[in-house]
Structure 1
Amino acid sequence: MKAMIIDRSDATPAIRQGDIEPPSRTRGQVLIRVQAASVNRADLAVLAGTHAAPGAAGAPAVVGLDAAGTVVEADEDSGFSVGDRVMTMVGGGLAEYVAIDARFPVPLPDSWTFEEGAGAIVALMTEHNALRTAGQLRDGDAVLINAANSGVGQMAIQIARHLGAGRIIAGVRTHREDALLTTLGADTVINTGAGGFAEQVLDASDGQGVDIIIDHVGGPYLADHIKAAALQARLIGVGRLGGAEGTLDMETLAFKRVEIIGVTFRTRSLEEKVRIVEAMREDLDNALAAGKLKPRIDRVLPWTEVRSAQNLVAGNDHLGKVILQVGT
């Protein structure tokens, strides 16, 4: 089968289309014919070599961390039938076929395209886990989401609103996205690029600070996050777009009794990931079916343009998810 493979034969890594052995489905797995996959920032880290490529040691490193497509093989007791439309987090999604544990795929809502499924699944799992499991979101909690214009940020706003958050504050570096983020459910949009944004968060929360901070930026925002935190707030470290190191005021951390919780899929076992899928579906399946949650697609490209798509993401030259159609 054809797949997009990372080629490290030269000094600069490249991506090429190549032929590899198709996956052999085993008991407990489903085989999916992939129709679409999205570009995630972690793909850039894999290409750069700072994150390990998914897949077996010694096998070609196939690009991609998600996929949406059609089930072509499944066990009778898997819960899936041939022809079912699904979306799933899966290493090596930019291939014609993927095989994955049958507990992992999520049915695609009837009204969704494959492109929307590919654009949503990683954000759904990541942000639900950050808000509900790690952040212990309760009705009325004030939430700050930075890099809110990103694909995961946009989904975090929608999930927080659906789960009963009180005030939702969206942090962005420009204000071209204000109307979109307000439509998605944000109450206030602040400019984190101006520096000292903690005061803006405190103003927007009547001086109380926020109960949950979903951090997609990392170290440079740490000091402001601690200042903007309410008593017993939960700071969830999801991404490190701006760097991994920051300044921590230990006195304020202790005074406010703030919890700092890091999350990643890279060190989670299959069973842990399955539990994340189950928890997400328990909370969000009905909302997905009703169309209350949906990704914004910036553009759709053929999978042969994967490097151009990754460059768009690297340059922040998009608003929403960049999707690749597999086989085109």
Structure 2
Amino acid sequence: MRRFSYSRPATLDEACHSAEHTRFLAGGTNLIDLMKSDVERPAHVADLKALGMHHIDEQPDGGLRLGALATNADTAAHPLVADRYPLLASAILAGASPQIRNVATNGGNLNQRTRCHYFYDPDMPCNKRSPGTGCSARGGRNRIMAILGTSDACIATFPSDMCVALAALKATVNLTGPEGERSVPIRDYHRLPGETPWRDNILRPGEIVTSIDLPPASFGPHHTYLKIRDRLSFAFAIVSAAIGLQIEDGIIRHGRIALGGVGTKPWCVPAAEALLEGKPPSHSLFRDVAERLLQGAMPDRDNAAKLRLAPRVIERALWQASAGTPQSQTDKTIR
């Protein structure tokens, strides 16, 4: 690990105006690993733990505000999250390990970086780590890489489970920076790689995630987070699906879907969600939705299997949600 200076700002304003080339430290479960691997080389680290953004508060409209420094474990276990947003709680519990969830924060989860093995290896060319050097994952060992939202410059997969559920729930991210406060829909927060894959999200210099707002939920039992991975715990998704459906009298009134493990960001297709509206659950409908979600997929050498696996995961998840039998994160049997 390289030398760096350290501070612990007492206020948001102080944090936002920290020294240049600053990285913000929350739980540290991703940043510290990257610094140890010599991938991140900040001149200064500003520890945000004193800023008090740990609360989970009910909002006047019936939604919830999740503090950016609330841990993933506390968020998943919070009674209001477990009761009103079980889709989010399930996705959080599907990620990482209990030890990591006890430390990792909501803001840190939102801003975590890809787990592409070439990104983590400073000796390998990687446009996300070293702009202009190339993408070693293309034509390389890329079984875990993305098939949606890729570019010639990068095919790295976005790793978060929590963010996939937030995308399905249409959450809003609240930011504070030198230019003031702003709010951004979660579906617009993460960037496609395009020609600038080193820019993971829309954060401006000095901006800090302060909280995440969840709109009032209306899915009842008709939700699921289905995650297919190599191991039953402590493994990133090969394919995952977060789904919430509003069903009345056997008809889907509206649906929300986000995919993980297949995209360079949490993958949402409004046109696929629109296909669900006003129709009863059926094999043909769910097949059409899966096809629309995966339209434009571009597999590379080793990840073409995701094209065969993803439709099955999407259709199974849609049946779980429509039947009101969400995937359990303790009993891993897929029903």
TM-score of Structure 1 vs Structure 2, range by shorter chain: under 0.3
Structure number having the greater helix percentage: 1
Structure number having the greater strand percentage: 1
| TM-score using structure 1 length | 0.27
| TM-score using structure 2 length | 0.27
